[in-house]
């Protein structure tokens, strides 16, 4: 049930550059946003540049990795379609990328997935198979789908091509900002975005940091302990970050990321509220985690001088439910 790896490039900055050249015609070059009030609210008054991947196709950075994965498949593989497991943004991204190419897409989703995410995947023409919300059921269901269809598995985060595709967001941000970035912060769940960002920053002098919910801090704890933690007992509002960090992703993060900052749900919600209020943009909790980390004492104590890049990972949120700060303030 392994992913296609026959056309993978090495895990290096040069490969991220090559991936970007391949997918540039397919993706949105999302804007780099600024906010003088949010920059001014920091003790160091650092200029902040937000890479707005909430404006990416499918509403999240995941479209980058999905597009690059499809670009690396052979015509024979594309003819049989692609498959994956995901409860959210990767499912939608792969379904949309497949639809754009006329490729069949099969998605295994937990039966407790959010209805807007299910609706999005369906709207992009993918075939959904539901499973119980646990890893063994997910793996067994995906294996059955693959056996029946012959589709190629496209992993959400733990594959070379996914990592390379996700790293392209930072390449664009560096080109878009009018000054050199001193640091960049990206959220970490499975680690595709953070590992890719670290590769893209390699040799540039940009310091790379991760942002992880305190209720799903397997990556930060794994770095402290010197080995990857294969499981995470996740309790966080940031549903996109409830995944254990990937096998390929962890050593890249371990080597190239200076620190993974852990943030509480309260910090994530406050950062999210500020971004909605001051920047007038729709950001999901996972997408606010990096800004929450920049506001966190652990990060501020580093005393970083200069511009900071913040990757907003996505904006897919169920707007039929009360926004999280409404619940926090009324309970």
Q: How far apart are CA 47 and CA 32, in angstroms?
A: 12
**pLDDT at position 176, please?**
98
What tokens were used for 64? 């980058």
Is 80 exceeded by the pLDDT of residue 288? Answer: yes
Cα–Cα dist 55/196, whole Å? 19
What whole-number distance in Å separates Cα of residue 26 and Cα of residue 67?
7
The residue whose two tokens read 């099969």 is 106
Residue 302: phi, psi to the nearest 5? -75, -20
Closest Cα partner for 154 from 76, 225, 70? 70
Strand partners, 208: 184
217-272 per-position pLDDT tens digit: 999 999 999 999 988 888 999 988 988 999 999 999 999 999 999 999 999 999 99
User: What local confidence, expressed as pLDDT, does residue 330 receive?
Assistant: 46
Quick one: how far is CA 171 from the chain centroid?
15
Architecture of domain 5-58+160-330: 3-Layer(aba) Sandwich (3.40)
Q: Which long-range contacts (CB under 8 A, 24 or more apart) does 119-123 make?
A: 120/58, 120/59, 120/91, 120/92, 120/95, 120/316, 121/91, 121/92, 121/95
Whether the per-residue pLDDT at 310 is higher than 60: the answer is: yes
Say yes or no to pLDDT of 209 above 60.
Answer: yes
> According to CATH, what is the number of the domain 63-153?
3.40.50.1100
The sheet with strand 105-110 has its strands ordered as: 127-131, 105-110, 82-85, 152-153
C-alpha to C-alpha distances, 173 to 31, 42, 52, 140, 206, nearest whole angstrom: 8, 21, 9, 39, 12
**Do 208 and 201 form a contact (C-beta atoms < 8 A)?**
yes
β-bridge mates for residue 153, sequence order: 3, 83
Between helices 192-201 and 13-23, what is the axis angle to 10°? 110
- pLDDT band of residue 331 (cuts 50, 70, 90) is very low
pLDDT at 7 (0 to 100): 62
Q: CA 123, 124, 130: angle at the middle one, nearest 5?
A: 75
pLDDT at 329 over 60: no
pLDDT of residue 318: 87
Range in 16-25, 111-120, 154-163, 299-308 the model is least confident about: 111-120
- Which of 5-14, 82-91, 192-201, 226-235 is least confident? 5-14
Helices 192-201 & 249-256 angle (0-180, nearest 10): 40
Position 49 pLDDT exceeds 80: yes
Q: By the 8 A CB rule, do 268 and 288 touch?
A: yes
- Contact (CB, 8 A) for 294 and 270: no
Residues of the chain with CATH 3.40.50.1100: 5-58+160-330, 63-153
Where is mean pLDDT largest: 3-7, 29-33, 116-120? 29-33
Q: What is the reported pLDDT for 2?
A: 46
Q: How much is the pTM?
A: 0.94
Looking at residue 265, its pLDDT comes to 97
Whether 185 and 160 have beta carbons less than 8 Å apart is answered as: no
The arithmetic mean of pLDDT across residues 153-158, rounded, is: 95
Look over the chain and give the mean of its residue pLDDT values, rounded to a whole number. Answer: 94
Q: What are the residue numbers of the active site?
A: 62, 87
pLDDT for residue 5: 44
Averaged pLDDT, 204-222: 96
How far is Cα 168 from Cα 189, in angstroms, rounded to an integer?
A: 18
**Residue count (the chain):** 331
At 78-94, the pLDDT tens digits run: 999 999 998 788 999 99
Q: Note the pLDDT of residue 243.
A: 87
Tokens of 115: 């209805």
Percentage, residues of the chain above pLDDT 90: 85
Whether 8 shows a pLDDT value over 90: the answer reads no
pLDDT > 80? residue 328: no
Sign of CA dihedral 233, 56, 45, 266: negative
């Amino acid at each position: 049930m392994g992913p296609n790896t026959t056309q993978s490039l090495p895990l290096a900055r040069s490969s991220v550059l090559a991936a970007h050249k391949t997918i540039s015609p397919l993706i949105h070059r999302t804007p780099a946003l600024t906010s003088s009030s949010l920059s001014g609210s920091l003790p160091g008054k650092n200029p902040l540049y937000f890479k707005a991947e909430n404006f990416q196709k499918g509403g999240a950075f995941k479209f980058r990795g999905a597009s690059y994965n499809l670009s690396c498949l052979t015509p024979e593989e594309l003819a049989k379609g692609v498959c994956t497991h995901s409860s959210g943004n990767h499912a939608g991204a792969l379904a949309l990328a497949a639809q754009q190419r006329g490729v069949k897409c099969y998605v295994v989703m937990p039966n407790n997935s959010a209805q807007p995410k299910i609706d999005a995947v369906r709207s992009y023409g993918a075939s959904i198979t539901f499973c119980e919300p646990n890893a063994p059921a997910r793996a067994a269901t995906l294996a059955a789908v693959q056996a029946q269809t012959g589709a190629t598995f496209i992993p959400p985060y733990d594959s070379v091509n996914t990592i390379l595709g996700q790293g392209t967001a930072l390449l664009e941000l560096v080109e878009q900002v009018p000054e050199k970035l001193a640091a960049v912060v990206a959220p970490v769940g499975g680690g595709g975005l953070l590992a890719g960002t670290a590769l893209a920053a390699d040799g540039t002098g940009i310091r790379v940091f991760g942002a992880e919910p305190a209720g799903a801090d397997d990556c930060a704890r794994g770095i402290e302990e010197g080995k990857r933690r294969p499981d995470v007992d996740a309790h966080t509002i940031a549903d996109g970050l409830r995944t254990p960090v990937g096998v390929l992703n962890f050593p890249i993060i371990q080597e190239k990321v200076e620190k993974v900052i852990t943030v509480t749900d309260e910090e994530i919600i406050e950062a999210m509220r500020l971004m909605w209020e001051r920047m007038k943009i729709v950001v999901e909790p996972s997408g606010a985690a990096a800004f929450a980390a920049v506001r966190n004492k652990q990060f501020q104590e580093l005393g970083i001088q200069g511009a900071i890049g913040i990757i907003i990972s996505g904006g897919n949120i169920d707007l039929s439910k009360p926004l999280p700060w409404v619940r926090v303030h009324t309970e």
